[in-house]
Amino acid sequence: MNDIILRTTNLGKHYKNRWAAQDINLEVHRGDVFGFLGPNGAGKSTSIRMILSLIKPTTGSVQLFGHDLAAEREKALMNVAGIVEKPDFYLYLSAFRNMQIAGSLTLGRTPDKKKVMETLQVVGLAERALDKVKTFSHGMKQRLGIAQALLCDPQLIMLDEPTNGLDPQGMKEVRELILRLSTERGITVFLSSHLLNEVEQVATRMAIINKGKMIVQGSVADLLKANANKVLVHAEPVKKAVSTLTAMKNVSGVTVTEEGIIARIEPKFAPAAVKGLVEAKCKVFSVQPRHSLEEYFLEKTGASEP
């Protein structure tokens, strides 16, 4: 489970007077749901295009399943499928016919009916197989695009902003599909997104990119561990609450922000901290954990919003 199936080394792309991506060093392990995070325009799509050999890097190299992409392109991409930005279809044809056409281009032959229907079943579209794609919702089209990518039975699938523009139900459907691909089919998923909450729910490992450069990479659990004890306290009067918390031996890092009072409190000491505030005649409205991926992202990028 720990073998690296995708490795990029100093990967970069330069356009005229700017770097779209620079020094991207990724390591994706077999079995990962790998979140590739960054604001819009950070260089995520450019990096994915280089990995999929859709554009040529200015610097660096890509290895897929032990094969150098530049020297052994066919072998490197043999077990890889991907969707960059959004999938395209023949809207006046059925989902089934679109799958046949996509399969003939990918496999070099028209896939048989059983294979097409099995793949549509995986993404929850078997019952709509004969419906024209123009009748599909945006979320259904995203799932149909993933179905097309699955026709070649990839070991690694790369999805560029797969929930972009979806409503909450569409996001849920795609998120659940990604988890099924990982847990039930053993597919390694590389998922780029700027929707941090979505990625936090599915990713096992992640990398953050900002302004074309990598900032951090690692296990989601390990990276968030640093802020595991950070909480947001809403209490009044604020001055008294701050002085009370500061005096507690199991509380540290007490600061006042626009959101409220930020402090570091181990979960087992939180009840005692609340009790101490109440005994100090403070009104406690809420105590919320702040170790989310969004908090970590904003801390690392220094951004005001993702």
Confidence check: pLDDT of 117 > 80: yes
Asked if residue 38 belongs to a domain, the reply is yes
User: Alpha carbon 175 to chain centroid distance?
Assistant: 10
Query: How many other CB atoms sit within 10 Å of the CB of residue 212?
Result: 22
Domain end marker among 181, 201, 219: 219
Q: List pLDDT tens digits, range 164-205.
A: 888 888 888 888 999 999 998 999 999 998 877 778 788 999
Exposure of 101 in the CB half-sphere (CA atoms within 13 A): 12
Asked if residue 298 belongs to a domain, the reply is no
Q: What are phi and psi of 57, to 5 degrees?
A: -65, 150
Task: Kindly indicate the confidence band of residue 304, based on its pLDDT and cuts at 50, 70 and 90.
Answer: very low
**pLDDT at residue number 194:** 80
**pLDDT at residue number 61:** 95
Q: Minimum mean pLDDT among 143-152, 234-243, 258-267: which range?
A: 258-267
Confidence check: pLDDT of 98 > 90: yes
Asked if residue 136 belongs to a domain, the reply is yes
Task: Kindly indicate the confidence band of residue 227, based on its pLDDT and cuts at 50, 70 and 90.
Answer: low
In this structure, are 184 and 242 located in the same domain?
no
Confidence check: pLDDT of 289 > 90: no
DSSP assignment of 165-219 equals T--HHHHHHHHHHHHHHHHTT--EEEEEES-HHHHHTT-SEEEEEETTEEEEEEE
Average pLDDT, the chain: 88
In this structure, are 211 and 241 located in the same domain?
no
Q: How many domains does the chain fold into?
A: 2
* DSSP code at position 126: G
Asked if residue 297 belongs to a domain, the reply is no
Taking residues 246-260, what's their average pLDDT?
88
**Cα–Cα dist 205/220, whole Å:** 5
Domain carrying residue 18:
4-219
| Better-scored residue on pLDDT, 107 or 76 | 76
In this structure, are 240 and 205 located in the same domain?
no
The domain that contains 255 carries what CATH number?
Answer: 3.30.70.100
In this structure, are 140 and 26 located in the same domain?
yes
In this structure, are 90 and 122 located in the same domain?
yes
**pLDDT at residue number 148:** 92
**pLDDT at residue number 116:** 93
In this structure, are 258 and 279 located in the same domain?
yes
Confidence check: pLDDT of 123 > 70: yes
**pLDDT at residue number 241:** 93
Q: What are phi and psi of 265, to 5 degrees?
A: -140, 120
Distances (CA, A) of 4 to 21, 170, 297: 22, 31, 25
pTM above 0.85, yes or no: no
Asked if residue 74 belongs to a domain, the reply is yes
Asked if residue 304 belongs to a domain, the reply is no
Q: List pLDDT tens digits, range 31-90.
A: 999 999 888 888 999 999 999 999 999 999 999 999 999 999 999 999 999 988 778 899
Task: Kindly indicate the confidence band of residue 120, based on its pLDDT and cuts at 50, 70 and 90.
Answer: very high
In this structure, are 166 and 113 located in the same domain?
yes
In this structure, are 118 and 262 located in the same domain?
no
User: Which residue type does 245 have?
Assistant: L
Residues 6+ apart with CB under 8 A from 188: 5, 6, 28, 29, 30, 31, 32, 33, 34, 155, 156, 157, 182
**pLDDT at residue number 226:** 63
The domain that contains 211 carries what CATH number?
Answer: 3.40.50.300
